[in-house]
Amino acid sequence: MLIETVAASGAVLVCRKGKFASLKRLRIHGWYFLIVSVLLQSLLSLDIIPPDFHYVSIIVSYILILLCILLNLRRFSMKLALAGVSLNFAVIAVNNGYMPVWLGGLEYAGYDISSITSDILDTFHALVTDSTRLSFLSDIIPIPEPYPFPQMLSIGDLFLMAGVFFFFQDLKPRSRQNKPPPEAEPAREPALKQTKDPA
C-alpha cells in the first residue's frame, strides 16, 4: 500500500503544480539510517541473516527508521510517520519480531487461507492467535476487491501513509507573498543659491 500511496501523492503533487526536482532541496537528516534499515530487512527477506538473529535485526531496523524520523521531526509529515512507525514497532516488538495478521481479514480480502499451514506467514508476518499481544495494532484492516491489490493494513500503516502523502506535498513551491513596494522618498527641493547683496 505504501507504493500506491507514493504514486497517488505524486499525482496530487503534479496537479498542484509541484515538482519532483524539489526533492534535491529537501534536507533529510540521517537518511543513511533508512538505507541501513532497508538493507537489514532485505537480508532478512533473502534468508541471509540466520533465524537466531531475526528478532534483533527487526528491532534494529525499526530503531534506525525511528532515528531518521526523529532527526526530521520539524516537518508535520514526519510527525505522522513517527506515530505510524511507533505503533507498528510496538506490536512487532512484543510479538517476537512479527507483525500479526488477522486470519478473518485475509479471507475477507480474498486470500486463499486454505493454503496456510503455519502461524508464521513469511519473514515479517504471523497470524493473530490467542497469545498475540496488542492485537488491535495488528494488520486487522482488510482492503478487498475491487481494489486491484487486496491486502491487510494496520492502524500504524494509516498514519504512515498519511505521513508519506504530506511529505510529497511539501515539494509544492510555496507562493511568495507580495511585498508592498518600498515607499518613494519625497523629492528634495533644490537648495537656493545665496546671492551677495550689492555693496
Per-residue pLDDT of the chain (199 residues; tens, 9 = 90+): 455 555 554 555 555 555 555 555 667 899 999 999 999 999 999 999 999 999 999 999 999 999 999 999 999 999 999 999 999 999 999 999 999 999 999 999 999 999 999 999 999 999 999 999 999 999 999 999 888 889 999 999 999 999 988 988 776 655 554 455 555 555 565 555 555 555 4
Residues 6+ apart with CB under 8 A from 167: 9, 75, 77, 78, 81
Rg (CA), the chain: 28
pLDDT of residue 184: 54
Q: What pLDDT sits at residue 23?
A: 56
DSSP E strand stretches across 129-188: 141-143, 151-153
C-alpha cell at 8: 497517488
pLDDT at 171: 67
State CA 103 to chain mean position distance: 27
Coil, strand or helix at 74: coil
User: For position 168, what pLDDT does the model report?
Assistant: 80
pTM: 0.79
| pLDDT of amino acid 141 | 96
CA distances from 77 to 40, 146, 167, 196 (A): 24, 29, 5, 77
Residue ranges per structural domain of the chain: 2-169
**Which residues neighbour 183 within 8 Å (Cβ) at sequence distance 6 or greater?**
none
Q: Which among 130, 125, 132, 129 is positioned nearest to 153, based on CA atoms?
A: 125
The rounded distance, in Å, linking the Cα atoms of 167 and 154 is 20
Best CA proximity match to 101, nearest among 60, 55, 151, 63: 151
Specify whether the CB–CB gap between 49 and 97 falls below 8 A. no
